[in-house]
Amino acid sequence: MDNLSRALLESVVSLPTMSFHETAVAAFVRWYAASVGIAVKEDRAGNILLTHKGGRGGVTFAAHMDHPGFEVVAAKGKRATVALWGKVAPKTFAGARVRVHTDDGPIRGKISKRILKKKHEGRFTFDLSAAGRVKRGDFGAFDVVPFKISGDRISALACDNLISVAAILDLMTRFAKGKARVNVQGLFTRGEEAGFLGAFAAMESGLIPKASPLVVLECSSAKGGGVEIGAGPVIRAGDLASTYDPEVEVWLSSVASALPASQGFKFQRALLQGGRCEACVYVANGYRAGGVALPLGNYHNQGARGYAAEHVSAADYDNVLKLIAALAHRPIGKGLLRAKAEPIRKHYAGLKRKLLGTK
């Protein structure tokens, strides 16, 4: 991993975020893109589209800017009621030590072991005892390491999905500085962990270009998907909800297969049905969408013995950068599915007369 990747990862992944509270991440994306000369566009919902125009092909890489967490819904002094957002088991959250982000900076606190009877907007609620004053609208998450690299392991509170945000910025920085002759866009959405809210808003606003394929970058549970951390990024055939665009998948797999294993590149292919990804809603609404994921440990901070930092492989991160760069340089062609089936068709043609019983 080079210095640019390491610096971007630490800058992005250390930022506080959760659904509806992506302000720090969005501000960094806008500021950073402007500083390196990448065009920035934003819709009413706060979704962001970055554009690098170099004149060849076209692909949009997408990542969401949020992570599961909790929001203060009522407060008095150092006591509060919080609502849990995102796919996290309530038993993992109960009794957890947490960090609350306030206007005066982060403070530590502890969640009650008891789940409250009254829900907030359909979400489980808990009591919070904080080390300082909190107010309604403050937010937070588990008190685990914000970011750390040790050997091949990248550990963080929010690998999912801030690492993908960093990867897109990483790629577009290199293209902007090198004046790459490719057309690439980066889409950053809000509220994914609350039910793909940003994705739906971006489609409604027309922010997402339909002319080019849309590749959703994710961190997805290695355990839930039956894949191995460190064995390379995963070409997603689909998720728990649906399969993705088959032609886009063929393109992803063919580009990945052409990258040299002799230089350390490797990848995996799987359905990854441990959860859902924004690609499923894009496909359902007529977009040519596919997915690439980094295998993730401790999905949504749920470890084998309670809450823990998420983790991915640094080598997998380097390889996902190689893959998305190659995708930008090798635009999707026409008739990929037909070409994939051509050897089978030729086999049929050679045995057709035998099948039909003709001479």
CA–CA gap between residue 207 and residue 41 (Å, rounded): 8
Choose the final residue of a domain: 116, 142, 168: 142
197 shares its domain with 305: yes
82 shares its domain with 212: no
Structural domain total, the chain: 2
What average pLDDT does this structure show over 281-301? 97
HSE, CB side, 13 Å, CA atoms: give it for residue 81: 11
pLDDT at 148: 96
C-alpha pair distances (Å), 336 with each of 21, 75, 205, 251, 348: 41, 57, 30, 7, 19
241 shares its domain with 132: no
Choose the final residue of a domain: 112, 142, 172: 142
Residue 107 neighbours by CB distance under 10 Å: 18
What is the band of 167 on the pLDDT scale with cuts at 50, 70, 90?
very high
303 shares its domain with 226: yes
Q: What's the DSSP call for residue 101?
A: E
Note whether residue 302 is domain-resident.
yes
- What percentage of residues in the chain have a pLDDT greater than 70? 100
- Tell me: pLDDT of 323 over 70: yes
Note whether residue 355 is domain-resident.
no
79 shares its domain with 32: no
Choose the final residue of a domain: 87, 109, 142: 142
- Tell me: pLDDT of 35 over 80: yes
What average pLDDT does this structure show over 272-284? 94
- Tell me: pLDDT of 336 over 90: no
- Give the pair of three-digit tokens for residue 236: 């997603």
- Give the pair of three-digit tokens for residue 127: 């009591």
312 shares its domain with 332: yes
Note whether residue 171 is domain-resident.
yes
Average pLDDT, the chain: 96
Q: Residue type at 255? A: V
213 shares its domain with 122: no
**Domain enclosing residue 138, as ranges:** 69-142
C-alpha pair distances (Å), 70 with each of 63, 99, 105, 141, 243: 21, 10, 16, 6, 31
What is the band of 57 on the pLDDT scale with cuts at 50, 70, 90?
confident
What is the band of 56 on the pLDDT scale with cuts at 50, 70, 90?
confident
| Segment (H or E) for 235 | strand 234-236
pLDDT at 302: 97
CA–CA gap between residue 74 and residue 32 (Å, rounded): 35
Note whether residue 342 is domain-resident.
no
3-state secondary structure 206-233: CCCCCCCCEEEEEEEEHHHHCCCCCCCC
Note whether residue 359 is domain-resident.
no
195 shares its domain with 308: yes
217 shares its domain with 296: yes
What is the band of 359 on the pLDDT scale with cuts at 50, 70, 90?
low
CA–CA–CA angle 172, 175, 179 (5° rounding):
140
38 shares its domain with 174: yes
What is the band of 337 on the pLDDT scale with cuts at 50, 70, 90?
confident
What is the band of 274 on the pLDDT scale with cuts at 50, 70, 90?
confident
214 shares its domain with 111: no
- Tell me: pLDDT of 328 over 80: yes
What average pLDDT does this structure show over 194-217? 96
Note whether residue 274 is domain-resident.
yes
286 shares its domain with 198: yes
Note whether residue 183 is domain-resident.
yes
Of 255, 248, 289, 291, which is closest to residue 270 (Cα–Cα)? 291
What is the band of 340 on the pLDDT scale with cuts at 50, 70, 90?
confident
- CB within 8 Å of 69: residues ≥ 6 apart: 17, 18, 19, 21, 85, 86, 139, 140, 141
- Give the pair of three-digit tokens for residue 103: 């206007």
CATH value at residue 299? 3.40.630.10
pTM of the model: 0.95
CATH value at residue 84? 2.40.30.40
Provide the sign of the torsion angle of the four alpha carbons 242, 273, 120, 15, taken in this order.
negative
Note whether residue 77 is domain-resident.
yes
pLDDT at 134: 98
33-56 burial, b for 16+ CB within 10 Å, e for fewer?
A: beeeebeeeebebbbbbbbbeeee
pLDDT digits (tens, 9 = 90+) for 114-132: 999 999 999 999 999 999 9
